[in-house]
Amino acid sequence: MSHRLHTASEALDAMMTAEQALAYRPPPRAVRLVPQEPIFPPLKVSEEPQRHAGDQPPNAQLGRTVVLACGADLVPQPVTWLWRDWLALGKLHILAGAPGQGKTTIALAMAATVSTGGLWPDTERCALGNILIWSGEDDPADTLLPRLLAMGADRGRCHFIKGTRAEDGTISPFDPASDLAALRDAIQTIGGIKLLIVDPVVSAVAGDSHKNTEVRRALQPLVDLAEACGCAVLGITHFAKGGQGSDPAQRVVGSVAFTAVARIVMVAAKVQGDEGEDARVLARAKSNIGPDNGGFEYHLEQREPLPGIQASCVAWGRAVEGSARDLLTYPDDGDDLEARDVVGFLRGLLADGPASAKSIFKDGEGAGYSRDQIKRASKRLGVEKRKDGMSGGWVWAIAAREKCTNSAKNMKGAHFDYVHPSPSSVLPSELGHEGGAKTTPIPNVLPSLPSNPPQLPSAPSESQAKEVF
């Protein structure tokens, strides 16, 4: 390499005279320009409305200024986990599920683990801490504490919110919507609070829990409390009716803001196991700070922590993989049980043959079922619906191969030969004095019916289809 450079230099000297060699200067190097800070012009001052003497600007009336933070002044921090990927300190969490799935008991199982520094279901060790519980539905003495003791909690680290005390000494019920400032003082007094349970979390909303803006505004103090106290806040709520098979996070009752504000949403439901047995699953339905899938099986059992005191507790099972939507595809919740009751009712009405939709709705109303419930049940049952002639009403019948699906190809084979009213739709004038049917014999009209009854039209016209059935 050095030899080649030396040879090139000799050739250049031979081509240039001495004066030229002395006058030669290599071309200057390119100068790297350092970008200058941009200069932003001041904002244009808009014309303000005319004010009277003594009036102050709106911001001056409030006496507030905006607090800003530059990214250069912030130090990146990792998420501090109480239970890795499930409970984070300083964050709001939601635990939702249908009634009877043990949501409160699951939350108490988490609290018991924190109070003893025990093991989580994934065998990870929990940091020891105090727990604080507010429940608007269960009594601490006869329900909450026995459950905690049944799961091995340290009762000395378990604290319960019973109410608020006024300056005159009177005690009022605790209201999460207005008493969070006093709760913050209580948390500082206790010290070491790692988990705060709010049951139900909808109690923190003073306004309409179905309005997004009001829910966000109401939950923000709870979020601020979690961050200020450095504890994980777990709010318990219910599933809304309907929506089986949809995203479980979207089934949380109330506004979507409940799931949007919470950093992690957990759902609990009873599902059908691989071998057809009933199983309960706790799954992550949403997480903004970690994985949003996976879960654990669990079951509820009764124990006697103290003589004569029975309490329910959680026994954890194996870990399960998959999204919450896959794990809870067929949740066996309260709404599903109700739906099966309506299906059974409708199946009984149509067991003997087709019936008019009008009589079915009338009988359903008498049994306490709405039209919407009966319509949903007809889809589950695979009911075929046809128009009884051009001027007649709608007639329902069970398909020959009954399947619970909305697909039209599974609704073939229903027989509409003879339409009969359902037994409970008999008019009062046709009943006896004691409520029984008249004893007048009903003539056997079947032999006189035509052997080939006319076929019903396959589809109604557009104007006829407007009738609700």
The per-residue pLDDT for 84 is: 96
Evaluated on CA atoms 206, 212, 216, 222, the torsion sign reads positive
Please identify which residue in the block is written with the tokens 């933070």: 69
Residue 193 CA, distance from chain mean position: 26
Shortest CA distance to 314 belongs to which of 86, 99, 102?
102
- Burial readout 389-399 (b: 16 or more C-beta within 10 A, e: otherwise): eeeeebbbbbb
> What is the spatial distance between Cα 246 and Cα 328, in angstroms, rounded to a whole number?
9
Q: Which residues of the chain have pLDDT under 50?
A: 331-337, 401-451, 453-469
Residue 417 has a pLDDT of 45
Tell me the torsion sign for CA atoms 414, 418, 419, 422: negative
What distances in angstroms separate CA 402 from CA 140, 337, 377, 405, one per listed residue? 49, 19, 12, 9
Token pair in block for residue 212: 């997004």
Query: Helices 357-366 & 371-381, crossing angle to 10 degrees?
Result: 120
Q: 3-state DSSP call for residue 168?
A: coil
Please, which residues have CB within 8 angstroms of residue 321's CB and are 6 or more apart in sequence? 293, 294
Q: What is the rounded distance in angstroms from the CA atom of residue 255 to the CA atom of residue 245?
A: 19
Which pLDDT does position 428 carry in this prediction? 36
pLDDT of residue 450: 47
Check residue 384 and give its pLDDT: 87
How far apart are alpha carbons 187 and 193 in whole angstroms?
7
Instruction: List the Cα angle 85/87/91 in 5-degree steps.
Output: 115
Q: What is the Cα–Cα distance from 441 to 294, expressed in whole angstroms?
A: 65
Q: CA–CA separation, 322 vs 304, rounded Å?
A: 35
Residue range 314-349, pLDDT digits in tens: 999 999 988 887 777 554 444 444 555 677 778 878
Kindly report the pTM of this predicted structure: 0.62
Q: What's the pLDDT at 24?
A: 64
